[in-house]
Amino acid sequence: MAKRLFDSGTLRSRPLLSVPQVVFLLIIVGAIVVAIDLNRRAQAGRLVGTGEEALRLQVEREATRQVELQATLEYVTGDDYVADYARNEGGMILPGERRVVPLLQEATPEPTALPPPTPDPALQARPWQAWWRLLTDAPQPAR
């Protein structure tokens, strides 16, 4: 009887999804793909100008540094730098000037007195007092 039930046309196989359901599913999948692509493009567009302000600040710092280096180059190639270097680093003087060299007088250090050694209370304590101190961290009991 069971064989006849399955062999007969009483239980027909129906498709899992109908044609309109398949079309609707394809439209939903396509919309998800398009939404993901648009989101990726929007994130890429937001990241385009993120480093612009940092680069602008770096360009301004480098322009300031270039001006400072040009001023330093002008000073170093001039006569003022040569005269300043000769006077301060080279130890040279102009005619008619006197060189003044300060001399340091070093005082002889006095020997420091050694402090008297502090007595060790553990050497003068009785054994029970040393154990009491180790075990309790409290002052010794008065007698």
**Two tokens at 98?**
């006197």
Q: Please write the tens of the pLDDT for every residue from 25-58.
A: 999 999 999 999 999 999 888 888 788 888 999 9
96 φ/ψ sector (left φ>0, alpha ψ -120 to 50, else beta): left
Torsion of CA 88, 91, 94, 100, to 10 degrees: 90
- Which tokens hold the place of 128? 């029970």
Query: Cα–Cα distance between 133 and 111 in angstroms, integer?
Result: 39
Q: What is the DSSP-derived secondary structure letter of residue 116?
A: P
Identify the pLDDT of residue 69: 96
Q: Which of 22-26, 68-72, 110-114 shows the lowest per-residue confidence on average (mean pLDDT)?
A: 110-114
pLDDT in tens, 79-135: 989 888 888 888 888 888 888 888 888 888 888 888 888 877 667 777 777 777 778
Question: Are the beta carbons of 132 and 141 closer than 8 angstroms?
Answer: yes
Cα separation, 40 vs 32, whole angstroms: 12
pTM reported for the whole predicted model: 0.37
Q: How far apart are CA 17 and CA 19, in angstroms?
A: 7
